[in-house]
Structure 1
Amino acid sequence: MKMFSVSHKTVFVVDHCPYMAESSRQQVECDVLTKSRAQGVIPLAPVSKSLWTCAVECSMEYCRILYDIYPKDKLVNYIVSDSEFHILNSWRQEDQSTHELMSALAAVGPPNPREDPECCSILHGLVAAVESLCKITELQHERRTSLMDMAERVANRGRIICLTNAKSDTHVRMLEDCIQETILEQNKLAAGSDRLMAIQQCELVLVHIYPQGEDTLVSDRPKKEISPLLTSEVHSVRAGRHLATKLNILVQQHFDLASTTITNIPMKEEQHANTSANYDVELLHHRDAHLEFFKSGDLHMAGTSTRENGLKETVTLKWCTPRTNSIELHYCTGAYRISPTDVNSRPSSCLTNFLLNGRSVLLEQPRKSGSKVISHMLSSHGGEIFLHVLNSNRSTLEDPPSISEGCGGRVTDYRITDFGEFMRENRLTPVSESSHDPSGKLPAERAKAQLERHTRYWPMIISQTTIFNMQAVVPLANLIVKETLTEEDVLTCQKTVYNLVDMERKNDPLPISTVGSRGKEKRQEVSGTWTPSADDAVLLFLTFRLKGLLDKEEQEAEVIKDSPDSPEPLNKKPRLSTEEVQPPERAKGPVSLLSMWTNRITVANSRKHQEFVGRASSVNNKFELYQHLKDENGMDVHENGKASR
């Protein structure tokens, strides 16, 4: 039921009643050449478009953008409503063009202000729109024929965009109820017909148009579910440029489009051929052209800016001096059709003509610092202009990278063996959904939970970790990812912690890996006191987690410490005394983990050597050499080394 989305069918219903002939009250200047006008010539008065003209122009711009980016699989059916409905085109592919729609609209003409308004209604067009959605398109017919016995799996969804001048919110609710009743009636007719399809989902987008300077009588409302078959949203918009902006935003939302602004385009001035200026051109395209920005999080580095009162975002890319032509091969990861936002402007016309002549333009991300990154390219194929996404990391024409080479450069110390073991421990096998544990989790949920536990802390390369390079920590690393621990597991954890404490007291070296300047892995053994790192902090934290299990043994250790005459039991593991590791709840005031670790290191270092004997028995910071020689031989040794009796 997901073969056709709501955007496959779009029905425009434009109100053609007498009130749509009212002026939009947005003035358009016709006489702009005021400096070259001869004396005595009266300037032309400004004019204003009607609500009907504004609705037709904006809906045609919606269709133009749609046909530019989706020339085949997105269809539009245009209906005009007055005393009856007028269907201007069909779902057939040959009727899908702005030329066909404009010719049909010219035949309809503007609304007649002298027509009886009681005989006119937008309901005629809305009922015809529902009936049109039940008709089968060529693509739906091909899919139903190919599936044969499973034709019911082909979904029938659609969207109705109604441009009208509603009377009130009550009037809007009445229109929604009428559409809901019509859908139910048409679905009953489609159930017994091979030429019709029942509607599974319909979206109503009602745009209320009113003149500038007046208060709106209809409230905006976000998308609301009227029934399982119908959702509705209401937009109250002033006629003129505000309506054009709203339809531009809607076409981006309905068809998953995004905006890119090409900046610093050099163009020669019309009046001064020897001079040039830089212009900007905004293009619309599928949002997947920015997919790499979203994945890498570099969308802010690409110059994202918000426009139109925060309702619209555009990504800014900088024009590069064209040094390429269509015969050069570039490694692209995607190509998407584009449509200029302002198709009639001079910068847009110059850019499209430049590209249609066979030239290609490279686009770079504007950056304040660092090297230039060329991420996109504009080029035409078969008379259509495409925005190409270039792979800025590695060319797909080169040899495939080895497993030891990543996007950040050549890395040779990946934990490849550990990752293989990680994959073996998290393999998925087929299992029925009915076989779940007592907690009620499905097998897929349990697998996701296990994967989340195993990857909470998992360094990718050897040089980023210390504890995962130590054989003594392997049992602890395998146990902490379990959901529950048995008594034997708890004893194993205790044994592992005690072994680590013994290693520190014995000054056992740590396996620390460093990477050379040329990427070759080098190993060095560092002996002495352990250097605190992120891994050691994690290990210390795990020690604190075992505190609750060691409380009883800790009390026993304190008794042994307070009784110097009490012998140490045989085969007794060294204890973690409260003096060495102070738990957080026993500390005075807030103490950070780093402070606790530093204090522990200081105490441990003070116990590893005795004070120098000479420093303890010196007089006036001077120590007499050969002090036992006089007592043994009866000689007095002077400073010059000669003995005297």
Structure 2
Amino acid sequence: MKMFSVAHKTAFVVDHCPYMAESSRQQVECDVLTKSRAQGLIPLAPVSKSLWTCAVECSMEYCRILYDVYPLHKLINYIVSDSEFHILNTWRQEAQSTHELMSALAAVGPPNPREDPECCSILHGLVAAVESLCQLTELQHEQRTVLMDTAEMVANRGRIICLTNAKSDTHVRMLEDCIQETLLEQNKLAAGSDRLMAIQQCELVLVHIFPLGEDTLVSDRPKKEISPLLTSEVHSVRAGRHLATKLNILVQQHFDLASTTITNIPMKEEQHANTSANYDVELLHHKDAHLEFFKSGDLHMAGSTSRDSGLKETVTLKWCTPRTNSIELHYCTGAYRISPTDVNSRPSSCLTNFLLNGRSVLLEQPRKSGSKVISHMLSSHGGEIFLHVLNSTRSTLEDPPSISEGCGGRVTDYRITDFGEFMRENRLTPVAEASPNPAGKFPADRAKAQLERYTRYWPMIISQTTIFNMQAVVPLANLIVKEALSEEDVLTCQKTVYNLVDMERKNDPLPISTVGSRGKGPKRDEQYRIMWNELETLVKTHAGGSERHQRVLDCIVACRSKPPEEEERKKRGRKREEREERPEKNGNNKEVDDKSWQDSERLKGVLEKEEPESEVIKDSPDSPEPLNKKPRLATEEVQPSEKTKGPVSLLALWTNRITVANSRKHQEFAGRGAAVNNKTELYQHLKDDNGMDVHENGKASR
């Protein structure tokens, strides 16, 4: 029953009743204003198409796209309905072309507005469409002949697309009931005939067309199952470009098509031959051309380029300067026929003519940074244009990478040993009789359920997990994945949790990965926070299995909420950890300081022997200094005669020696020599002259 899908046969039913001659009210300009137009020339008045013209043009675009992408085995039967039905072609492959359909439509002509509307009905065409779906196509007849013994395996499915102007929702339900009754009648007739086949599935797509500026009388409705044989959906669309957009979306949905927009196509201007501009062309093709994009996640989707806000999406690819021709070979993983969305536009015509002349165009993915990736190529074969999918990732012809090397060489720390253990625990064995257990589950179902439990949380990379790298968590990790836990299992899990709490109290290190981080990684309390979060995530995925699983989770949550004294103990542990780390960082500096202190003491003793009573004197402006000597601050001046408490740097000792040497090169200021405690007494002879004792506060006493 899977041999033929609904897309194999499509019956188009277009309403040809008098009301379809009504104007769509979408104006089309016939005279474009130009500068070369003569003065006084009155432009032509705009015209508007009828509902019938809009329906015919849009349905022909539907057929053109289908025939471009699927030249075989996707068949259309076109029916016009007025006072009777008119079948314009058959299911034969020779009758499947837009040229034959347009010729037949020209013979039918536009609807007659003066015809009696009571005699015309869309029901005539719908009944004829159901009857045509019961007829065998050439491919169906061939398959039934080959499968003579199992001819019933050849399915018969089809789709009916009806373009009409319905009166109301009640009118739509009446049409659906009529099709349902016709399906049952035709299936009874097909049961006793060799030329007909019963219909197993029929899809009705009813498109209600109404003029611009009017309110619709029919509501949109998604796909709904009317009966096991019939499903129906309703679309209420304004005539004109809105109808064209809707049918463009429908043809993509019905035949698994996708849209690709080629951007930055350089073309010379018609009026200015020396200049060029960049244009965009939208192409339709099978959606498998974007399969690699969906796998890799590099899909660059953009909104519809049309003026309407439809649901259509397109993938954007950039034009590459063509430096290749059909002689060169490229490694392609697929080739799909294309169909331009706007076939009559100048950019589409230029692109198709360029490709049909034997040229090939490479297309690249738009990227903001990094090297460009050429993913597709446009080329023609035998007068038909194909979109080729180029291999932009690891070639399927190459040897697959070793798991120790990582996928594509990017990841190397897979849990290979743990995965081997995982496979041993979940290997399947044949059983003599597949009998269900007391719970009603068969062995295959139990195996699937166990595999699902084991893979609810299973990190693949060592650097992405902490608990699976800890031997202390192994008992809990092995028990929590079981379907049912015993009391002993719960006690074992709780004991594991208490052991982790004891490890945290002792501030034991954890196997935290430092890949991608600077230094030694996170602090100790942060390591335990990561560990508890991951452990809680593991147990939460199994907590809904039973009440005992929930008890394990409650134990973890209770142990994570620590009392205040525990938090104070953690702070003391962090301070101790910092004190332990500080000597490690300053170990080399301490050795250097000890050595410099010994040297400074040795040099200090030599200086004290040479100048036992020398004083430190500030450098005079004329005293020479070494060229590489930096200006000294006052805090750096240390007297070597004083007994220094602690080590003195070599710089201070050397500065003092230079200061002493410079002081010998000029005569000392007389007043400084009589200073007491670095203070010189002013008016020294005042006492002798006046017989007064002058204190520091300026008051005199006799």
Q: TM-score range by the shorter chain?
A: 0.7 to 0.9
What does residue 13 of structure 1 align with? 13
- TM-fit CA distance, 1:270: 0.8
Q: Judge which range, 633-642 or 283-292, deviates more.
A: 633-642
Which entry has the higher C-alpha Rg, 1 or 2?
2
**What SS does the corresponding residue of 1:203 show, helix, strand or coil?**
strand
Post-superposition CA distance 1:117-154 (Å, at most 9, x none): 22222111111100000011122222223332222122
Most deviating of 384-393 and 87-96:
384-393
Shift of 1:73: 2.1
Q: Which of 571, 576, 584 is the matching residue for 1:525?
A: 584
Equivalents in 2 of 1:142, 1:195: separation in Å? 13
Q: How many residues align?
A: 633
Determine helix, strand or coil for the equivalent of 2:242: helix
Cα offset, 1:32, TM superposition: 1.2
Contact in 1 for aligned 2:320/2:362 (Cα 8 Å): yes
Tell me whether 356-365 or 432-441 shows the greater mean CA deviation.
432-441
User: Mean alpha-carbon deviation: is it higher for 418-427 or for 546-555?
Assistant: 546-555
Counterpart-to-counterpart distance in 2, 1:546 and 1:425: 75
Contact 2:613 2:641 in 1 (8 A): no
8 Å Cα contact 1:453-1:481 kept in structure 2: yes
Q: Counterparts of 1:127 and 1:546 in 2: how far apart (Å)?
A: 118
Between 434-443 and 265-274, report the one with greater CA deviation: 434-443
Deviates more, 1:451-460 or 1:70-79: 451-460
Partner residue of 1:614?
671
**In structure 2, do the counterparts of structure 1 residues 643 and 567 end up closer, same or farther at CA, with 3 Å as the change threshold?**
closer
How far apart are residue 61 of structure 1 and its match? 0.1
Cα deviation, residue 571, structure 1? 72
Shift of 1:281: 0.8
Unaligned stretches of 5+ residues in structure 1 = 537-544
Q: In 2 relative to 1, CA 477–99 (structure 1 residues): closer, same or farther, beyond 3 Å?
A: same
TM-superposed CA distance for 1:193, in Å, is: 1.1
Kindly tell me: are residues 499 and 607 of structure 1, through their superposed partners in 2, closer, same or farther at Cα, counting changes over 3 Å? farther
Deviation at 1:337, TM superposition (A): 1.7
TM-superposed CA distance for 1:441, in Å, is 4.7
Answer with 472-481 or 505-514: which moved more.
Answer: 505-514
Distance 1:564 1:299, change over 3 A: farther
**How has the CA–CA distance of structure 1 residues 68 and 254 changed in structure 2, closer, same or farther, with 3 Å as cutoff?**
same
- Cα deviation, residue 66, structure 1: 0.8
Q: Residue 517 and residue 215 in structure 1: after superposition, are their counterparts in 2 closer, same or farther (change >3 A)?
A: closer
Change (3 A) 1:264 1:564: closer
Distance 1:90 1:344 in 2: 28
- The Cα of 1:486 is off from its aligned counterpart by 3.0
Report if aligned partners of 1:302, 1:316 keep a CA contact under 8 Å in 2: yes
Q: Which moved more, 1:193-202 or 1:490-499?
A: 490-499
How far, CA to CA, are the matches of 1:593 and 1:486 in structure 2? Answer: 74
Contact kept in structure 2, 1:516 and 1:522, CA below 8 Å = no
Residues 325 and 426 of structure 1, relative CA distance in 2, 3 Å threshold: farther
Q: Is the 8 A contact 1:75 1:96 kept in 2?
A: yes
Distance 1:52 1:46 in 2: 18
Offset from partner CA, 1:277-312 (integer Å, 9 cap, x none): 000111112222222333333335788989732522
Report the alpha carbon displacement of residue 110 of structure 1 after superposing the two structures with TM: 1.6
1:553 and 1:188, CA in 2 relative to 1: closer, same or farther beyond 3 A? Answer: farther
CA distance in 1, matches of 2:490, 2:269: 80
CA distance in 2, matches of 1:27, 1:55: 16
Q: CA deviation at 1:330?
A: 2.6
CA 145–577 in structure 1, closer or farther in 2 if over 3 Å, else same:
farther
> Residues 81 and 306 (structure 1 numbering): CA distance in 2 closer, same or farther, change over 3 Å?
closer
Which residue number in structure 1 is paired with residue 306 of structure 2?
Answer: 306
Tell me the residue number matched to 1:633. Answer: 690
1:88 deviates by 0.9
Query: Taking structure 1 as the reference length, what is the TM-score of the superposition?
Result: 0.74
Change (3 A) 1:583 1:625: closer
User: % of aligned pairs identical?
Assistant: 91
The answer to whether 1:112 aligns with 2:169 is no
Q: Cα distance 1:105–1:376, how it changes in 2: closer, same or farther (>3 A)?
A: same
SS of the equivalent of 1:584 reads coil
Q: Which is further off, 356-365 or 505-514? A: 505-514
1:133-180 superposed Cα distances (whole Å, 9 cap, x missing partner): 001112222222333222212221111011112222222222111111
In structure 2, the CA distance between the partners of 1:417 and 1:42, relative to structure 1 (3 Å rule), is same
- The separation in 2 between residues aligned to 1:38 and 1:349, in whole angstroms, is 31
Distance 1:8 1:570, change over 3 A: farther
| Contact map agreement 1:21 1:112 (CA 8 A) in 2 | yes
> Following TM superposition, by how much is the alpha carbon of 1:55 offset from its aligned partner in structure 2, in angstroms?
0.8
CA contact (8 A) 2:472 2:499 kept: yes
Shift of 1:461: 3.0
Does the Cα contact within 8 Å between 1:393 and 1:407 map onto a contact in 2? no
CA 598–623 in structure 1, closer or farther in 2 if over 3 Å, else same? closer
Q: 1:471-521, CA deviations, whole angstroms, 9 ceiling, x for partnerless residues?
A: 554444322211112345445546656776788899988667777999999
Q: Could you give the per-residue CA deviations for residues 438-471 of structure 1, whole angstroms, max 9, x where no partner exists?
A: 4445555543432232123323233444543455
CA shift digits 1:16-53 (9 cap, x unpaired):
12222222222211111543222344322222212111
Any conservation in 1 of the 2:302–2:314 contact (CA below 8 Å)? Answer: no
SS in 1 for 2:368: coil
Deviation at 1:578, TM superposition (A): 54
Cα contact 2:242–2:308 (8 A) shared by 1: no
Give the superposition deviation at 1:327. 2.9
Q: CA separation in 2, counterparts of 1:310 and 1:387?
A: 25
Distance in 1 between residues matched to 2:239 and 2:330, nearest whole Å = 45
1:66-122: per-residue Cα shift (whole Å, max 9, x none)?
111111121111011112111111111111111121121122222222333222221
Distance 1:178 1:570, change over 3 A: farther
Higher strand share: 1
Q: Which residue of 1 aligns with 2:618?
A: 561
Contact 1:263–1:280 under 8 Å retained in 2: yes
Query: How far apart, in 1, do the equivalents of 2:442 and 2:604 lie?
Result: 34
Q: 118-127 or 369-378: which moved more?
A: 369-378
For 2:672 and 2:15, the matched residues in 1 are separated by 103
Kindly state the Cα deviation for residue 54 of structure 1 after the two structures are TM-superposed. Answer: 0.9
Counterpart-to-counterpart distance in 2, 1:515 and 1:479: 30
Q: Distance in 1 between matches of 2:684 and 2:483?
A: 68
Q: Distance in 2 between matches of 1:168 and 1:511?
A: 71
Which 10-residue stretch deviates more, 341-350 or 221-230?
Answer: 221-230
Shift of 1:331: 2.9
Give the direction of change, closer, same or farther, for the CA distance of 1:332–1:392 in structure 2 (3 Å limit): same
My pick for the range that moved more, 613-622 or 229-238, is 613-622
Cα 1:92–1:468 shift into 2, 3 Å = same
The 8 Å contact of residues 136 and 195 in structure 1, kept in 2 or not, is answered as yes
Q: How far does residue 7 in structure 1 lie from its aligned partner after superposition?
A: 1.3
Counterpart of 1:603 in structure 2 is 660
Retained in 2: the 8 A contact 1:337–1:385?
A: yes
Counterparts of 1:128 and 1:555, CA distance in 2: 129
SS in 2 for 1:569: coil
Equivalents in 1 of 2:448, 2:608: separation in Å?
34
Please tell me whether the aligned partners of residues 336 and 388 of structure 1 are also in contact (alpha carbons under 8 angstroms).
yes
Work out whether residues 554 and 576 of structure 1, in 8 Å CA contact, stay in contact via their aligned partners in 2.
Answer: no
Q: CA deviation at 1:428?
A: 4.5
Question: Residue 257 of structure 1 contacts residue 284 of structure 1 at CA under 8 Å; is this kept in 2?
Answer: yes
